[in-house]
Amino acid sequence: MNAMNGSKRLYRRRKGRMVAGVCAGLSDYFGLDVNLIRLMFAVATVFGGLGALVYVVAWAIVPEEGEEASIAETFFNQKRGG
SS3 percent helix, strand, coil of the chain, rounded to 5, is 55, 0, 45
Residue at 71: amino acid letter:
I
Residue 19's alpha-carbon distances to 12, 15, 55, 75, 77, in angstroms, are 10, 11, 10, 21, 25
Q: Which residues pair with 64 in a beta bridge?
A: 12
pLDDT band of residue 4 (cuts 50, 70, 90) is low
Give per-residue pLDDT as tens, 13-65.
888 778 888 999 999 999 999 999 999 999 999 998 899 999 999 999 999 88
* pLDDT for the residue numbered 1: 44
Give me the phi and psi of 8, to 5 degrees please. -90, 145
pTM value > 0.85: no
